[in-house]
């Protein structure tokens, strides 16, 4: 019998990202929130835009904490994440909390299919700086929102952070300690949002090294 060697398969960047987040999912789920007061303020600010019958999409839901926290205030949340392990943990959390109006799915941003003008609110926290093409993602989000729909994002704008942090990121990427991270400023993020057709309604940053929290409406 002659053994035939299977052809090697090139490892795509998305495969590496999925593997990275799967590997760190359990540790991520156990990690406490670094700034609980800031997190609660973001939840409260977001809920001012909610209505009980709203259809909400969360991109990059992680282990489901934010989706579960918002579930009682809306009709339904479709929560997606690149990592199947993150989604598995999120489902377990929702079940334990008795939450039944959140649908968790393991999907990449590129694989996400949403009809145009069908969503009331889109949330994307700690996501935009991890995407290869944030402009495309923002344009897609604008398209899927209903007229006047709301986009909520909390984004690490590394371009505004201190020089040591900006230098650590590429080194961490090279050593595969970090996932791929894009460097841009708050001003550049706001320009991307406004260029896509959003009007910024609320913005807040607890400190310069923290993520920029922005809520904007589809014009």
Residue 109 placed within a domain: yes
Residue 3 placed within a domain: no
Residue 177 placed within a domain: yes
Residue 6 placed within a domain: no
CATH number of the domain at 164, please.
Answer: 3.40.50.150
Residue 8 placed within a domain: no
Residues of the domain holding 83: 13-22+37-218
The residues, any chain, with a CB within 8 Å of residue 88's CB and separated by 6 or more, are 25
| Alpha-carbon span 165 to 168, nearest angstrom | 5
Residue 148: how many CB atoms within 10 A of its CB? 10
| Alpha-carbon span 33 to 73, nearest angstrom | 22
Tens-place pLDDT, residues 11-37: 344 577 899 889 989 998 999 999 999
pLDDT score, position 14: 56
Tens-place pLDDT, residues 99-153: 999 999 999 998 999 999 999 999 999 999 999 899 999 999 999 999 999 999 9
The angle subtended at Cα 188 by Cα 185 and Cα 191, nearest 5°, is 150
- Does the structure show a pLDDT above 90 at 60? yes
Residue 4 placed within a domain: no
**DSSP secondary structure string for all residues of 65-129:** HHHHHHGGGSSEEEEEES-HHHHHHHHHHHHHHT--SEEEEE--TTT----TT-EEEEEEES-GG
- Paired tokens of 201: 């309604």
- Does the structure show a pLDDT above 90 at 98? yes
| Alpha-carbon span 178 to 172, nearest angstrom | 5
pLDDT score, position 58: 98
185 — pLDDT class (breaks 50, 70, 90): very high
Per the prediction, the chain carries an average pLDDT of 88
**How many domains in the chain?**
1
Residue 172 placed within a domain: yes
């Amino acid at each position: 019998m002659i053994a035939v060697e299977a052809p090697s398969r090139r490892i795509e960047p998305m495969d590496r990202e999925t593997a990275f987040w799967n590997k760190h999912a359990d540790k991520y789920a156990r990690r406490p929130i670094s700034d609980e007061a800031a997190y609660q303020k973001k939840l409260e600010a977001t809920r001012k835009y909610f209505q009980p019958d709203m259809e909400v999409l969360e991109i990059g839901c992680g282990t489901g904490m934010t989706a579960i926290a918002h579930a009682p205030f809306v009709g339904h949340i479709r929560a997606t994440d690149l990592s199947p392990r993150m989604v598995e943990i999120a489902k377990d959390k929702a079940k334990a909390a008795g939450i039944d109006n959140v649908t968790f799915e393991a999907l990449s941003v590129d694989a996400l299919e949403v009809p145009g003008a069908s969503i009331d609110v889109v949330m994307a926290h700690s996501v935009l700086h991890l995407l290869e093409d944030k402009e495309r993602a923002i344009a897609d989000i604008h398209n899927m929102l209903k007229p006047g729909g709301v986009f909520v994002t909390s984004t690490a704008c590394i371009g505004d952070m201190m020089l040591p942090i900006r230098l650590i990121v590429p080194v961490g990427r090279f050593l595969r300690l970090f996932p791929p991270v894009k460097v841009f400023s708050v001003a550049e993020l706001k320009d991307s949002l406004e260029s896509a057709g959003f009007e910024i309604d609320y913005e807040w940053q607890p400190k310069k090294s923290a993520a920029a929290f922005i809520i904007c409406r589809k014009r």
